[in-house]
Amino acid sequence: MAPMSQPMDQQITAEGPTIAIFNVAMIGHVNPTFALVQELCKRGCKVSYFLPPVAPIRAAAIESGAVVEGYLPEDPSDFVMEKCGIDEPLCHAVPEIVEDDRAEYERAVWPLAQALLCGEYVIERCRQLGVSVVLYDPFLPIGLLAGTKLGIQCASLVTYPGMGSLSGLMSTLEAEGRLERAGAIRKPYGKAIQDKFGVDLRCNLLTRRQFYTKTNFVTTCEDLIAELPASGEQKWADELRTEFSFSAVGCLVSSSAPHVITARSDSFIPRVKSFGHSLPVAELSDQLAKGRKIIYAALGTMALSDRWSIDLGRISGYNLPHGTTGKAFCQHVWKALLAAMEELGDEFFCLLSVGKQPDALDFLGSSEAAIFELVPSNVLIRGFVPQVDMLNNYTSAFISHVGFNSLQESLMAGVPLVAIPQAVDQPANACKVEQRGWGQAFFKPMETVSSTALAESLRQVCDENSMYRQQVQCARSELAGGAPRLAERSSAMIRKERSECFIPSCGAAMQRAQFADGGRARVACPGSAPWGQVVTTQWALPAHAGPYIQAEQVILPERCAVGQGSCRPTAILAGKLAGGGRRASSGRTYGSCHGIPGPGPEALL
């Protein structure tokens, strides 16, 4: 399939405009979007959700109201985006990679390699679906590629508190020169994408660990967006301020939206399977009836799954010693917690989520009997449980790694926290927990977490007379309303898209006519600059056809590419707001305007 060379024609039906969402198979990235899908569907939008073939995530997207799309024509079930380009890199242009930087290398390669592999199909599929707006996870440049190539509105969905929360990691990477090395790795992929699709993804930027665009929605309140280093301190932070803008829309946590517990394999060894992964409602209700304070402990999928056997310290900004695996971190905390629960006694009860790793509890023994013998009677172990339900209905305090979704889910449920951060944005989130009085935090947890310290922290956080619960309630009001607010912002992007149409010139070039507020018009070729001169327009209201905007004289830009035709320097442009669609009348060719429900506007040269 040849790369598309023209902006897309939209075929809008009475069912409403189509929004495309692009995402990765990561729970923390997809879970916040399902409430947004529900809100968009309520507003009459169709949502086409592009996802990898991970069954639990796709099922949740469908349940929320989306139509799931794959990234490749046959939607192969074994497609893994994170493997794209890893085994067949563009070696001729990639500097030698030492094994120590292997993870950084893969992180730089696979998003762009996936865009190269899937771009043609995805762009054509968006054209067929009649997509009006693209929303995408900034991990995935394919969303930015599709929106830019098709000339439609796009925005990234930032499901963490901005890159300021990664300051420790980013500053370390910059100091080590790894940001520049990652840019060198991205360079041949960026060139290949530009050669193939005619789109410059600006892969040279230091901040291209994330593929932001002009509009970036952060799924939290303004106060939770982490601050960047001061101006002049870090090149990457200065670049971010200069190149991009971010807007907080509020929290997307919703008790009515689907929530993926785990996207990993359902395989267990027997002793782990016996713990189960359903919510033990009867047991929890009984504990509440006895007046016990219920502790919920869950340390997140990054440690429990993604980096169980991989170094977490490298991406922790020195919060963990280098070489600390997810397993080492979790077992250190669990040992302290089990001892703390023995110390706390019958006034407290703990539900501990340990994930699916077969060796999760090997520090307690090699048999199921040995494990249960050493687990205190006031502790119940599960693999995973529905976290939002657990927080909303049973929890007095949450022992958490404070991944951003877990943090916001706890705040929205009114539950104070004991924060034990690992890496990436989590130390910054833990700082917020302490600063705002939402709970207590253990920084450098391999040194600070002990049974005695943890028991005392739980006593204080669970104290009904403490400030923590009150402060959490204040945060809840600040965060509320994110899904409706983001749906409205997305709808505004649709309305902006509806104000634009594409006009063919001489059958070879495409000019864009934009009918701006106030009755002014301008014309330009996609990708060229400057815009055509904006000229005065006049309004008319023919009784038979509805309102018109008429631009009397629009000057086309000198750099307008017209293929083999010749472009007239001036043109009469009429844009009708009602009736029409694509048609020809009296020998005049009308351009096809997209994004308009029903007949739509027309434009002619």
What 3-state class would DSSP assign to 586? coil
Same domain, 167 and 274: no
Q: Which of 437, 452, 480 lies at the terminal end of a domain, its last residue? A: 480
Whether 286 contacts 292, CB under 8 Å: no
Same domain, 312 and 238: no
Judge whether 61 lies within some domain: yes
Same domain, 114 and 216: yes
Q: Which of 418, 450, 480 lies at the terminal end of a domain, its last residue? A: 480
pLDDT tens per residue, range 362-394: 888 877 777 878 899 999 999 888 899 999 999
Q: Which of 449, 480, 511 lies at the terminal end of a domain, its last residue? A: 480
Judge whether 402 lies within some domain: yes
Same domain, 424 and 518: no
Judge whether 557 lies within some domain: yes
Check residue 177 and give its pLDDT: 83
Judge whether 489 lies within some domain: no
Check whether the bond before 530 is cis (ω within 30° of 0): yes
Same domain, 232 and 274: no
Which residues sit opposite 111 in a β-bridge? none
- Left (φ > 0), alpha (ψ -120 to 50) or beta: where does 323 sit? left
Q: β-pairing, 439-441 with 379-382?
A: unpaired
Same domain, 195 and 100: yes
What 3-state class would DSSP assign to 506? coil
Q: Which of 58-72, 345-359, 484-498 has the largest mean confidence?
A: 58-72
Same domain, 240 and 276: no
Same domain, 567 and 475: no
Same domain, 286 and 244: no
Average pLDDT (389-408) is 95
Chain centroid, CA 154 distance in Å: 13
Backbone dihedral angles phi then psi of residue 558, each to the nearest 5 degrees: -60, -30
pLDDT tens per residue, range 92-114: 555 555 455 677 788 899 999 99
Judge whether 254 lies within some domain: no
Same domain, 327 and 450: yes
Instruction: Name which of 41, 38, 36 is nearest 16 in CA terms.
Output: 41
pLDDT at 174 over 90: no
When divided into structural domains, the chain yields a total of 3
Same domain, 299 and 412: yes
pLDDT at 40 over 60: yes
Average pLDDT (463-478) is 90
* Lowest mean pLDDT across 94-98, 167-171, 225-229, 494-498: 94-98
pLDDT tens per residue, range 183-220: 989 999 999 999 999 999 999 999 998 999 999 999 99
Average pLDDT (534-560) is 32
pLDDT at 468 over 50: yes
Confidence of residue 58 (pLDDT cuts 50, 70, 90): very high
Same domain, 342 and 379: yes
Query: What's the mean per-residue pLDDT of the chain?
Result: 78
Instruction: Name which of 435, 566, 552, 459 is nearest 505 in CA terms.
Output: 566
Judge whether 143 lies within some domain: yes
Judge whether 60 lies within some domain: yes
Q: What pTM, to 2 d.p., does this model score?
A: 0.73
Average pLDDT (489-497) is 79
Backbone dihedral angles phi then psi of residue 266, each to the nearest 5 degrees: -85, 5
Higher local confidence (pLDDT), 413 or 367: 413
Higher local confidence (pLDDT), 472 or 586: 472
Higher local confidence (pLDDT), 226 or 24: 24
pLDDT at 574 over 80: no
Judge whether 41 lies within some domain: yes
Euclidean distance between CA atoms 77 and 95, whole angstroms: 33
Work out the percent of the chain whose per-residue pLDDT is above 70.
74
pLDDT at 51 over 70: yes
pLDDT tens per residue, range 141-173: 999 999 999 999 999 999 988 888 778 777 777
Structural domain for 53, as ranges: 18-248
Confidence of residue 259 (pLDDT cuts 50, 70, 90): confident
